[in-house]
Amino acid sequence: MVRLLDGSMSAQLKHFGYDCNSAENIPHWTFPANSDECLVANAYKSFLDLGVTDITTNTYHFGSTLDKRIPENDSKKEIYENYFQIACSSLVKLTEMKDGVRVWGSVGTLATLYHDMSEYNGKYMDNEDAENTARNYYQTILTLFQTKTKVRNLVFETIPSAVEGLMALEALKRFPEMRAVMSFTFKENACLRHGEEIDTLAGELRKCSQIVGMGINCTDPENVLPALKVIKKHNFPEVFVYPNMGDSKFLNEGSDESDVFNLDMVTGWVENGATTIGGCCGVTETQMKILKKIVDNLNNSK
């Protein structure tokens, strides 16, 4: 069975009057929505009503609250940790009576610490102390999941470089209860945004029993298949695919209701190992409904 993952949280929150780009929400984007439990619950419910089988916590942008360059972050540490807990407990509660629905704790890339869209190049990993920064960053977030929530399945999202992926893996190993899908963002020719090929990295991830899968996210739909073909060789139990609306559209801050998904494209992904498919940045509810029909069609044809 092909499973359906949720879509863009920022796009979904717009339906409920929340604007990630408003002055009061920058640079934390979707994360402050957790201050209103009813708001975030409604966003989760709208995905569940759509028929998703896999859904992520609204914790991706927590990293920006760790940026020491923002004076208020230190004084609001407990408040932000409470928002983190609300994001997780609200979703766990909503899905307790939903048979077959899996909750995944969203672990945002280190780029969220810098909140400058650097996940699309990964250049921060060229900084002198980048490995130690990444190691501490992931340790902090996984500690929150361990101590503040019941969520034990994680998805590390939008990782643009191999070294960052290895630092995330190192942190994960310190939390043996956790299982994870590690998801990366790609450019052309199955290369990560930072430029690395992924065959060796995929092999390292596959050796770890805590890694249940590998993913491709916030990647132009046209760049998914080459990466999938490399990942397929490593026989991960789970392969997540959730592209953005298209780099040229999303990165230019445009909006587009044209189809992101079509039957031939999604069929190709499934034939090359994709087990769970959803949407990332810019993918709207309308586009997710199209994907739902495609996934249902594929499942019914089996």
Element (H, E) at 54: strand 54-56
- Rounded CA gap, 9 and 95, in Å? 17
User: What are 44's two structure tokens?
Assistant: 């989760």
Nearest to 91 by CA among 109, 105, 77, 78: 105
Cβ contact 297:261 at 8 Å: no
Residues tagged in the binding site annotation for Zn(2+): 218, 280-281
Contact predicate 194/201, CB 8 Å: no
**Phi/psi class of residue 131: alpha, beta or left (left: φ > 0; alpha: ψ in -120 to 50)?**
alpha
The answer to whether the CB of 244 falls within 8 A of the CB of 280 is yes
Q: Residue 80 and residue 148: Cα distance in Å, rounded?
A: 12
DSSP string covering 125-192:
GGSTTHHHHHHHHHHHHHHHHHHH-S--EEEEEEE--HHHHHHHHHHHTT-TT-EEEEEE-B-GGGBB
Q: Two tokens at 301?
A: 């044809």
The three-class DSSP label of residue 249 is helix
Paired strand residues for 192: 186
Which residue ranges make up the annotated binding site? 218, 280-281
